[in-house]
Structure 1
């Protein structure tokens, strides 16, 4: 999988690394912006506490 992705990317090694970093940051940003809040709406809040005080 990673070898196939590496071969598909254009340019020299330094450009491929920059492209991969930009793609990684974009995926993480999309997850935190849209995916995680959407999934959070389906998770039931249980209000768990630790200890009996």
Structure 2
């Protein structure tokens, strides 16, 4: 999968690397901003108290 993604991206290797870093940062940002809070609302952890 990563090889196919590397071949699809345009430009020399340093432009591809920059694009991959930007795409990875955007994916992490989207996960922490929208996906994880949405999943946290669906999954109700049991309240546990440690004595």
Q: Same fold (TM over 0.5)?
A: yes
**Post-superposition CA distance 1:4-48 (Å, at most 9, x none):** 100000000000000000000000000011101111001113111
> How many residues of Structure 1 are paired with residues of Structure 2 in the alignment?
51
Q: Alignment RMSD, CA only?
A: 0.9
Map 1:1-53; keep pairs closer than 5 Å: 1-50=1-50, 52=51
Q: Structure with the greater relative contact order (CA < 8 A, sep ≥ 6): 1 or 2?
A: 2
Task: Specify the structure having the higher radius of gyration (Cα).
Answer: 1
Would you tell me which structure has more helix in proportion to its own residues?
A: 2
TM-score by length of structure 1 reads 0.87
Measure how far apart 1:49 and its partner are: 2.1
- Unmatched tracts of structure 2, length 5 or more: none
TM-score by length of structure 2 reads 0.90
- Unmatched tracts of structure 1, length 5 or more: none
